């Protein structure tokens, strides 16, 4: 009998997922490892690969359908082979996105806004943008039928074939476009709101002289094996070592218990088009600087292409969020419960400093923003942790203990 492909369990807490985009069509030959379709959960966007070899015989759902975990999605088998159709209750979409097309194509409204760059990328799939670019049209003008309002390849094809375009209603205040929240964005919104509501969060900010940090970064860039090490990697290394001295920061608050960890599982915020994901570097305190750098790049790449394993998005004992490359000088990061702290990494700025002889010079200054849960950690120990971290970064080569990366 043919093989049924089911919606996989991508996380212990996930009960459903949205079908994003099918990468194959009925009649296509697939191998083990062939990408079949993408799914969006509350944590990230994942690609599902085939575990079978054969031909795609049938689909049981459409792009944009929200299905329960283990629901049948498609069948792979030999051409002409019989298969068992799912029961209605097994595959009933929880939030199917039904297309409501009018009988005649609709032109663009005169006030139709044109989306470019990041705004356009956020609303359309890569294949849709590629096809639109080749045809010389604006992908944002296609009428979306993908998951949560995503413009997919077939939408662009229909626009090219029929001339049908999405129209945005004009109002007295100008044009606008309503974009439905994705499952991932809803999950992020709920988690952030719950974090703010349930914790006594307070943020302290401190800065340090980044001269030695920048000097070591230049030294790393000059060597082929270490040229990929970034300032962010160096901060992660320093955080993993400093947390060992302050176990109250490397902890979870669980009802009436504080669980302090002996090792550091360092969570790091990663920005992807679908939202924010936080992969975890396991046992970061036992890794070298170069190992942390390589692991961070591996995790970030997996987040970007949707191949990140769900278990790598859980279990962090402390989180680092870096907005320094965006020029942010100070911000208030929000704690990821049940953790009790999160570090915000800010940009480097020039700051004046008076020398002993009375002259004023400038130095490279980096700022760090520490948010902590005041229910679990008092201001003094939180400040001492931040002070020690700044000192370790200001004297980074001493922190390395004379070792190379």
CA atoms within 13 A on the CB side of 263: 11
Q: What's the rounded mean pLDDT across residues 137-151?
A: 77
Does an H or E element contain 183, and which?
A: helix 183-198
Q: How many CB atoms lie within 10 A of CB 118?
A: 9
User: For 323, which DSSP code?
Assistant: -
372 conformational bin, left if phi > 0, alpha if psi -120 to 50, beta if neither: beta
3-state DSSP helix/strand/coil % of the chain, to nearest 5: 30, 25, 45
pLDDT at 164: 67
Measured distance CA(181)–CA(187) in Å, rounded: 10
Token code pair at residue 318: 């402390």
d(C-alpha 297, C-alpha 280), whole Å: 12
**What is the H or E stretch that residue 347 is in?**
strand 341-354
What is the rounded distance in angstroms from the CA atom of residue 260 to the CA atom of residue 246? 10
- pTM exceeds 0.85 for this model: no
pLDDT of 55: 92
For the four alpha carbons of 334, 337, 338 and 343, in that order, the dihedral sign comes to negative
For 132-136, 166-170, 250-254, 321-325, which range has the lowest pLDDT when averaged over its residues?
Answer: 166-170
- Number of alpha carbons in the 13 Å side-chain half-sphere of residue 79: 5
**Which residue reads 């008092």 in tokens?**
378
pLDDT for residue 17: 85
Q: What is the 3-state secondary structure (H, E, C) of 264-304?
A: CCEEECEEECCEEECCEECCHHHCCHHHHHHHHHHHHHHHH
pLDDT for residue 103 is more than 50:
no
Give yes or no for residue 214 having a pLDDT over 50: yes
- The answer on pLDDT for 139 being more than 80 is yes
User: What is the distance between the alpha carbons of residues 212 and 249, in angstroms, rounded to a whole number?
Assistant: 26
Place of tokens 């009018």: 102
Cβ-contact 192, 185 below 8 angstroms = no
Closest CA to 171 of 107, 111, 106, 108: 111
| Model confidence pLDDT, tens digit, residues 264-303 | 999 999 998 888 899 999 999 999 999 999 999 999 999 9
Q: pLDDT tens for residues 12-60?
A: 667 888 888 899 999 999 999 999 998 887 777 788 999 999 999 999 8
């Amino acid at each position: 009998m043919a093989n049924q492909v089911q919606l996989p369990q991508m996380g212990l807490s996930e009960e459903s997922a949205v079908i994003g985009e099918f990468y194959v069509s009925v009649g296509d030959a697939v191998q083990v490892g062939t990408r079949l379709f993408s799914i969006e959960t509350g944590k990230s966007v994942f690609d599902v690969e085939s575990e079978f070899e054969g031909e795609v015989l049938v689909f049981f759902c459409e792009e944009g359908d929200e299905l329960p975990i283990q629901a049948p999605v498609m069948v792979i088998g030999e051409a002409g082979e019989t298969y068992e159709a799912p029961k209605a209750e097994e595959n009933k979409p929880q939030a199917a996105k039904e297309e409501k097309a009018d009988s005649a194509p609709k032109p663009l409204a005169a006030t139709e806004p044109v989306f470019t760059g990041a705004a356009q990328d956020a609303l359309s799939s890569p294949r849709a943008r590629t096809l639109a670019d080749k045809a010389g049209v604006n992908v944002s003008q296609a009428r979306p039928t993908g998951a949560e309002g995503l413009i997919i390849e077939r939408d662009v094809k229909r626009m090219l074939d029929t001339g049908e375009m999405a129209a945005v209603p004009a109002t007295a205040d100008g044009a606008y476009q309503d974009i439905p929240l994705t499952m991932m964005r809803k999950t992020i919104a709920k988690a952030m709101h719950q974090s703010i509501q349930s914790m006594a969060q307070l943020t302290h900010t401190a800065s340090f002289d980044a001269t030695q940090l920048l000097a070591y970064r230049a030294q790393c860039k000059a060597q082929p094996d270490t040229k990929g090490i970034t300032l962010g990697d160096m901060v992660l290394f320093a955080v993993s070592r400093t947390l060992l001295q302050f176990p109250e920061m490397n902890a979870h608050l669980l009802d009436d218990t504080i669980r302090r960890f002996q090792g550091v599982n360092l969570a790091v915020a990663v920005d992807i088009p679908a939202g924010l994901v936080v992969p975890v570097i396991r046992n970061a305190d036992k890794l070298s600087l170069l190992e942390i750098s390589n692991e961070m790049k591996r995790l970030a790449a997996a987040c970007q292409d949707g191949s990140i394993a769900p278990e790598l998005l859980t279990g962090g004992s402390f989180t680092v969020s870096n907005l320094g490359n965006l020029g942010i000088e100070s911000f208030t990061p929000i704690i990821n419960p049940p953790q009790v702290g999160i570090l915000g990494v800010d940009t480097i700025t020039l700051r004046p400093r008076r020398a002993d002889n009375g002259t004023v010079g400038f130095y490279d200054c980096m700022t760090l923003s520490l948010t902590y849960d005041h229910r679990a950690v008092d201001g003094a120990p939180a400040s001492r942790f931040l002070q020690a971290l700044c000192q370790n970064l200001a004297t980074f080569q001493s922190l390395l203990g004379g070792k190379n990366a």
